[in-house]
């Protein structure tokens, strides 16, 4: 009974990790969502995929469910392209514009994109999303800790190196792309989320997209942003929920929500629960 019911729980993850590690060592990439994803062997993302077989599945499920047919998703903070690859594999009726500026991460994202069977629906923007256009300081922790890179150094990835990157407002990119219908913004840029949203004010007003974003207190400290500033991000006619359980966030319970999750959703009332009420 032990061998049949219990042992596989330990053997399968170990076997999966060894298989993916060998695959990465030999080819520099791993199979994921039916695609090739290129990544450094010691990266945070590789570690999670090799242990669990997936990466942020609850967030992928939310993105897949909320993106409207024949619209565009802005993936801000695309890293090596894992989430974009997973969403594109499950939704053949959407287009993704992915934003990534980290010089340590971009070589892997470029290779993942180039090998993707979905690249005709996937565009890469090698810029930082911010509240201004120009050249900004950017802090990188290297390829393995690239998930922690950002426009301020949070210290979460160890010692950072300061480089310069090109920054764009999402509104400016949206205008350059001829104002496509964007039904979903996913923003995960290690504390820079509020600035990115500020730079997307026109897009949000016109398209009324769902906005899935990270709100991590450690990251926010590096930007001098208080946790309760999350409420100032809520556009008129939107409601704020925590993910993955879609719990409406109240100011009095924000500390509790932040202890349970760092992912949140801004939903337009006309498309969400407000319409039903």
Please state which of the ranges 10-19, 66-75, 104-113 shows the lowest mean pLDDT: 10-19
Provide mean pLDDT across the span 255-260.
95
Q: Which CATH number fits domain 55-276: 3.40.50.150, 3.40.50.12160, 3.40.640.10, 2.70.98.40?
A: 3.40.50.150
Confidence tier at 40 by pLDDT (50, 70, 90): confident
CB 148 within 8 A of CB 157: yes
pLDDT in tens, 81-128: 999 999 999 999 999 999 999 999 999 999 999 999 999 999 999 999
pLDDT of 9 strictly over 60: no
pTM for this one? 0.91
Do 101 and 107 form a contact (C-beta atoms < 8 A)?
no
Would you say the C-alpha torsion 153, 157, 162, 164 has a positive or negative sign?
negative
pLDDT of residue 2: 45
Tokens for 161?
């190196």
- Please give the residue that has the higher pLDDT: either 261 or 10: 261
Of 10-14, 184-188, 246-250, the range with the lowest mean pLDDT is 10-14
What's the pLDDT at 41? 81
pLDDT at residue 275, as a whole number: 42
Q: What is the mean pLDDT of residues 15-21?
A: 75
DSSP string over 152-173:
S--STTSS-EEEEEEEE-HHHH
Please report the pLDDT score of residue 276 as a whole number: 42
pLDDT at 16: 75
pLDDT higher than 50, residue 274: no
Exposure on the CB side of residue 52, measured as CA atoms within 13 A: 10
Read off the pLDDT of residues 192-230 as tens digits, 9 standing for 90 and up.
999 999 999 999 999 999 999 999 999 999 999 999 999
Query: If pLDDT is split at 50, 70 and 90, which confidence band does 271 have?
Result: very low
Angle 253-257-261 (CA atoms, 0-180°, nearest 5)? 175
pLDDT reading at 148 higher than 50: yes
Mean pLDDT for 133-154 is 95
pLDDT given for residue 30 in this prediction: 87
Predicted pLDDT of residue 8: 52
Domain ranges of the chain: 55-276
User: What is the separation of C-alpha 137 from the centre of its chain, rounded to a whole number of angstroms?
Assistant: 21
């Amino acid at each position: 009974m032990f061998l049949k019911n219990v042992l596989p729980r330990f053997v399968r993850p170990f076997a999966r990790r060894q298989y993916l590690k060998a695959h990465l060592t030999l080819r520099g990439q791993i199979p994921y969502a039916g695609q090739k994803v290129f990544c450094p062997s010691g990266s945070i993302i590789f570690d999670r995929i090799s242990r669990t077989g997936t990466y942020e599945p609850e967030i992928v499920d939310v993105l897949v469910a909320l993106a409207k047919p024949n619209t565009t998703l802005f993936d801000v903070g695309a890293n090596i392209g894992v989430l974009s690859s997973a969403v594109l594999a499950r939704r053949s009726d959407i287009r993704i514009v992915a934003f990534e500026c980290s010089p340590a991460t971009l070589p892997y994202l470029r290779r993942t994109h180039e090998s993707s069977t979905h690249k005709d629906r996937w565009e890469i923007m090698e810029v930082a999303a911010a509240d201004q256009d120009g050249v900004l300081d950017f802090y990188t922790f290297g390829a393995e800790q690239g998930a922690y890179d950002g426009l301020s150094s949070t210290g979460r990835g160890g010692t950072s190196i300061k480089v310069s990157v090109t920054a764009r407002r999402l509104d400016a990119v949206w205008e350059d792309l001829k104002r496509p219908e964007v039904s979903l913004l996913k923003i995960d840029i290690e504390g820079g989320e509020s600035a990115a949203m500020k730079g997307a004010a026109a897009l949000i007003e016109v398209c009324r997209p769902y906005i899935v974003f990270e709100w991590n207190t450690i990251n926010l400290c590096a930007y001098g942003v208080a946790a309760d500033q999350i409420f100032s991000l809520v556009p008129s006619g939107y409601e704020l929920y925590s993910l993955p359980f879609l719990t409406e966030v109240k100011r009095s319970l924000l500390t509790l929500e932040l202890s349970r999750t760092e992912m949140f959703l801004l939903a337009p009332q006309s498309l969400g629960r407000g319409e039903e009420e």
